[in-house]
Homo-oligomer: A and B are copies of this chain.
Amino acid sequence: MIDDTLTANRIVEAADRLFYARGVQAVGMDAIRGEAGVSLKRIYSLFPSKDDLTVAVLHRRRDQWNAGIAASAENAETAREKLLAIFDFLDAWFREPDFHGCAFINVFGELSGGSEQVRQQARKQKQAFVDYVAQLVEDAGAPEELGPQIAILAEGAQTTAAILGGPEAAAQARAAAVTLLDSALERNASATAQQPG
């Protein structure tokens, strides 16, 4: 059917809402059927198991994250500004009323002893983010040690904002990133000044 994609989207969106609000294990397939307005048979014809549906939800989250990061980077000109734009994106996200953490971190905590597929999705997502930051750090002409440091700040801001509540962690992490960037670029500048070429 041509509307398989449409229906699949509706199911994934419904599952995402419920999973994020209540946790994966706490949501039954029946609740997803109700939220999506789609029969169980149809759900299982599109997603062979709850695990597959969970992975599809994580794919959706990944796409949303990537789109959000890309959008925040669009208004930035330099690599340095693109790096800091990550924290502006986080800031806006933390202010959303139903924010309570990164879905990948949450799902990793929930299913760490369970689905290997899900664990792998979380790992791939976080690794991709580390790679994105590393590329920007290289573009900015900063030493590569800076990459993981900024990625750690972004991760820490997410868990801190989730558990303590409130968006302050984004600005705090951003300020730390500014200090790290300034320090790294300064050190780099003086190092290249000493041995040019």
Residues of chain A at the chain B interface (Cβ within 8 Å): 21-23, 25-26, 100-101, 104-114, 122-123, 126-127, 130, 145, 148-149, 151-160, 162-165, 168-169, 172-173, 175-176, 179-180, 182-184
Q: Is A110 a contact partner of B113 (Cβ separation < 8 A)?
A: no
User: Within the complex, which residue of B111, B164, B172 is in contact with A23, where a contact is CB–CB below 8 Å?
Assistant: B111
A112 CA / B114 CA spacing, docked (Å): 18
User: Within the complex, which residue of B126, B145, B173 is in contact with A163, where a contact is CB–CB below 8 Å?
Assistant: B126
* Contacts A22-B113, A104-B163 given; does A154 touch B153 at CB 8 Å: no
Q: CB-nearest residue of chain B relative to A114?
A: B26
A108 CA / B164 CA spacing, docked (Å): 11
Q: What are the residues of chain B within 8 A of A111 when measuring CB–CB?
A: 23
Number of chain copies forming the complex? 2
A159 CA / B162 CA spacing, docked (Å): 13
* Contacts A104-B163, A109-B110 given; does A152 touch B153 at CB 8 Å: yes
> Which of A104, A108, A180 has the largest number of chain B CB atoms within 10 A?
A108
Query: How far does the Cβ of A73 sit from chain B's closest Cβ, in whole Å?
Result: 20
Q: Is B145 a contact partner of A173 (Cβ separation < 8 A)?
A: no
Q: Is B22 a contact partner of A126 (Cβ separation < 8 A)?
A: no
> Which of A113, A114, A145 has the largest number of chain B CB atoms within 10 A?
A113
Q: Is A172 a contact partner of B155 (Cβ separation < 8 A)?
A: no
Q: What are the residues of chain B within 8 A of A127 when measuring CB–CB?
A: 164
Q: Is B123 a contact partner of A164 (Cβ separation < 8 A)?
A: yes
By Cβ-Cβ distance, the 10 closest A-B pairs, closest first, are A156-B156, A109-B109, A106-B109, A22-B113, A152-B156, A155-B156, A149-B176, A110-B110, A148-B172, A155-B159
